[in-house]
Chain A
Amino acid sequence: MTALVSTTNSVAVRLDGLRRSFGDVHALDGLDLDIAPGELVALLGPSGCGKTTALRILAGLEDPDTGRVLVGGKDVTDRPANHRDMGMVFQAYSLFPHLTALENVEFGLMLRRQRAAQRRRRAGEMLELVGIGAHAGRYPHQLSGGQQQRVALARALAIQPQVLLLDEPLSALDAKVRVQLRDEIRRIQREVGTTTLFVTHDQEEALAMADRVGVMRSGRLEQLGSPEDIYGRPATAFVADFVGLSNRLPGRVSDSGVEVLGTVLPLIDSSAAPVGAAVTAMVRPESVNLEVDPQGVARVLAASFLGPTSRVTVALPDDTLVLAQVASSRLHELSPGTATRVVLQPTPVVVSTA
């Protein structure tokens, strides 16, 4: 199997000042991104944020209005898609329906005029790598969605591309298959070591798979960082809101942080607002503790059992709703109507004046 793994192919990718408009709509508004060799960067954001446009410009399937694309230090902006040596997996309809799985994987090799025996062997090895060697002779319509995407991945990697591009490959799959496949993709990508750009609107996917996550909105990068950074130290309210759940609670800035519901929480960005300003603090449910207290002013409204943990919604006297994450073993003491006290953990939060 070691013949497959090739870390010497890893190159750095740079997107430099990409701009792309469709009429009045600015799909990309100045995107700068550096991907290190062998790294998996996820572009995360809502639909229309420009993440797919960025990927397609990198692939050569769209032209940027301005900006450059550099792969391995070389400017490939003017190079057509079929000369960029990139492997791509699409959200749907990835595979050629008239070819078997094996023939699909062989396709790129066949275009490069590899000898039949050699490419058959390599295609077979790639199918083994993605875990469906047994289905090599099947046609796409005989394969499940998850299996099809595995074949698509094998096909993309068979040509040993410089860059691997994944355009929401899991979005069309069932939930369980999605989770299973994303770990597989990550494992394979690490093993083969190809520089990868992964586009998704599912923040859980991005956090689980990526070395770094770029959160995009309206054609710009809001924040680029490791999954822990993105989650734990969101740079803007949008990032805090989009990635994971956030409670929006009113607070007042003091000199040591922001005061929310009686507790002073440290600020991620201490220069975000002047002292004394009234702000909205984004507090994560896992930072909210609920203590059963007959004198407490927060009343339990509802509880959602989610397996190992549960989410409990409490209502404050002014009708603000607060979401708390609790261990499921505590559910019995937090039935609807119970009086509780909300205690916030001193995790750094992001605030916005909006």
Chain B
Amino acid sequence: MAGLIARAARRQRVMRWIVVLVLGVFFLLPLVAMVMFTIREPNGHYTFSTWRLLANWKQLGQTYPDLWAGMKSSAGLAVFTVLIMLVMLVPTAVWVRLRLPKMRRFLEFVCLLPLTIPAIVLVVGLAPVYAWVTYFLGGSALTLTFAYTILVLPYAYRAIDAGLSAIDVRTLAEAARSLGAGWATVMWRVVLPNIRSAVLSASFLTVALVLGEFTIASLLNRENLQVAIDLLGKSSATMSVAVSFAALVLAFALLFLLSFAGRRRGRRGATTPDQLGAVSPSLIASEAIGERS
């Protein structure tokens, strides 16, 4: 038998793997180089001392206090930014959907604005604002969380907006209200549980962004992970590279796990869109620029 379709599918599979492998090599090389760099000694031997030190947190803090401070900063920033983003964005998005639908376009525009204003530009204008912030709240790196929340708006908003669309929040709210629920109940017990995966998505993207941010922290003279890595690069390049690599792997693990946490809106061949939930990172970021450099 001919099996024409099967043959075409096979050809496609071959093409697919060739492309992935060739580009994969291009992408893996620097990553491999990073690892090699952290384990290679000048005399040609290999050692894992850098990695062992990285795993030993107490000693790490003693040997590289700046790096440790930067790591703690970024960890704290990640947590705070996620919190502020959720507290600011989710109620607002839901509220606009339910009570102020005419404001929706405006909200979307506002949330996409950070994309049009590059970080390098934003930081120019943030300087005077942060002078006030420092005056009121001190000069800790954690105050960066406000700027980071702005940076993450486009991605977080897209994720949450998509989640709200998928569950038809208006109908849910109307049903709950007709059963006698107050607005607080609607938000807390009806809407939130149903957009769990969108919220998770937005949170993971926020963490990835915060871990990778350099521009604003650097130019506002505050210490975060990337700034610390940069600084460390001048004195201990191996540890610097090791930390960078670890951060990368962590972010990858987060996003990879996220891709399982909710149904993908796969539309290939289906005639009805998948109604439930999560939006994959690709879908969210589809209209966003990845400018965090």
Alpha-carbon gap, A77 to B3, bound state (A): 9
Contact A77 B1 (CB under 8 A): yes
CB neighbours (8 Å) of A78 from chain B are 1-2, 4
The answer to whether the Cβ of B271 comes within 8 Å of any Cβ in the partner chain is yes
The answer to whether the Cβ of B6 comes within 8 Å of any Cβ in the partner chain is yes
Residues of A in contact, count (CB < 8 Å): 14
Contact A93 B271 (CB under 8 A): yes
Contact B271 A91 (CB under 8 A): yes
Contact B1 A66 (CB under 8 A): yes
Chain A 104-117, CB-CB to B under 8 Å as 1, else 0, gives 00000000000000
The B-contacting residues of A in range 276-291, CB under 8 angstroms, are: none
The answer to whether the Cβ of B23 comes within 8 Å of any Cβ in the partner chain is no
CB neighbours (8 Å) of A92 from chain B are 271
Contact A172 B271 (CB under 8 A): yes
| Least distance between A78 CB and chain B CB atoms (Å) | 4
The answer to whether the Cβ of B19 comes within 8 Å of any Cβ in the partner chain is no
Alpha-carbon gap, A199 to B6, bound state (A): 24
CB neighbours (8 Å) of A191 from chain B are none
Chain A 33-75, CB-CB to B under 8 Å as 1, else 0, gives 0000000000000000000000000001111111000000000
The answer to whether the Cβ of A131 comes within 8 Å of any Cβ in the partner chain is no
A57 nearest CB neighbor, chain B only: B5
Alpha-carbon gap, A66 to B1, bound state (A): 7
Alpha-carbon gap, A91 to B271, bound state (A): 9
CB neighbours (8 Å) of A64 from chain B are 1
Alpha-carbon gap, A172 to B271, bound state (A): 9
A60 nearest CB neighbor, chain B only: B4
Chain B 1-14, CB-CB to A under 8 Å as 1, else 0, gives 11111100000000
CB neighbours (8 Å) of B4 from chain A are 60, 63, 78, 80
| Least distance between A96 CB and chain B CB atoms (Å) | 17
| Least distance between A166 CB and chain B CB atoms (Å) | 16
Contact B271 A63 (CB under 8 A): no
| Least distance between A64 CB and chain B CB atoms (Å) | 7
CB neighbours (8 Å) of B271 from chain A are 91-93, 172
B contact patch SS: loop
Alpha-carbon gap, A346 to B77, bound state (A): 82
Residues of B in contact, count (CB < 8 Å): 7
Alpha-carbon gap, A61 to B1, bound state (A): 15
Alpha-carbon gap, A207 to B38, bound state (A): 74
Contact B2 A77 (CB under 8 A): yes
The A-contacting residues of B in range 143-181, CB under 8 angstroms, are: none
Residue of A62, A66, A91, A172 touching B5 (CB-CB under 8 A): A62
CB neighbours (8 Å) of A62 from chain B are 5
Alpha-carbon gap, A62 to B2, bound state (A): 11
The A-contacting residues of B in range 1-42, CB under 8 angstroms, are: 1-6
The B-contacting residues of A in range 64-104, CB under 8 angstroms, are: 64-66, 77-78, 80, 91-93
A66 nearest CB neighbor, chain B only: B1
B271 nearest CB neighbor, chain A only: A92
Contact A65 B1 (CB under 8 A): yes
Alpha-carbon gap, A51 to B2, bound state (A): 22
The B-contacting residues of A in range 141-191, CB under 8 angstroms, are: 172
Alpha-carbon gap, A61 to B9, bound state (A): 12
CB neighbours (8 Å) of B6 from chain A are 63
| Least distance between A310 CB and chain B CB atoms (Å) | 33
Chain A 239-275, CB-CB to B under 8 Å as 1, else 0, gives 0000000000000000000000000000000000000
Alpha-carbon gap, A347 to B4, bound state (A): 50
The A-contacting residues of B in range 127-155, CB under 8 angstroms, are: none
| Least distance between B267 CB and chain A CB atoms (Å) | 10
Alpha-carbon gap, A332 to B5, bound state (A): 61
CB neighbours (8 Å) of A63 from chain B are 1-6
CB neighbours (8 Å) of A61 from chain B are 5
CB neighbours (8 Å) of B3 from chain A are 63
| Least distance between A99 CB and chain B CB atoms (Å) | 21
A78 nearest CB neighbor, chain B only: B2
The A-contacting residues of B in range 91-108, CB under 8 angstroms, are: none
Alpha-carbon gap, A61 to B2, bound state (A): 13
CB neighbours (8 Å) of A172 from chain B are 271
Alpha-carbon gap, A61 to B8, bound state (A): 11
The A-contacting residues of B in range 219-262, CB under 8 angstroms, are: none
Alpha-carbon gap, A93 to B6, bound state (A): 24
CB neighbours (8 Å) of A60 from chain B are 4
| Least distance between A236 CB and chain B CB atoms (Å) | 31
CB neighbours (8 Å) of B1 from chain A are 63-66, 77-78
A171 nearest CB neighbor, chain B only: B271
Alpha-carbon gap, A93 to B273, bound state (A): 13
Alpha-carbon gap, A172 to B272, bound state (A): 10
| Least distance between A148 CB and chain B CB atoms (Å) | 13
Interchain residue pairs with CB less than 8 A apart (10): A60-B4, A61-B5, A63-B1, A63-B3, A64-B1, A66-B1, A77-B2, A78-B2, A78-B4, A80-B4
The interface of chain B, by Cβ under 8 A from chain A, is 1-6, 271
Query: Would you list the 9 A-B pairs with minimal beta carbon distance, nearest first?
Result: A78-B2, A92-B271, A63-B5, A63-B3, A80-B4, A63-B6, A62-B5, A63-B4, A91-B271
Query: What 4 additional pairs, Cβ within 8 angstroms, besides A63-B1, A77-B2?
Result: A62-B5, A78-B1, A78-B4, A91-B271
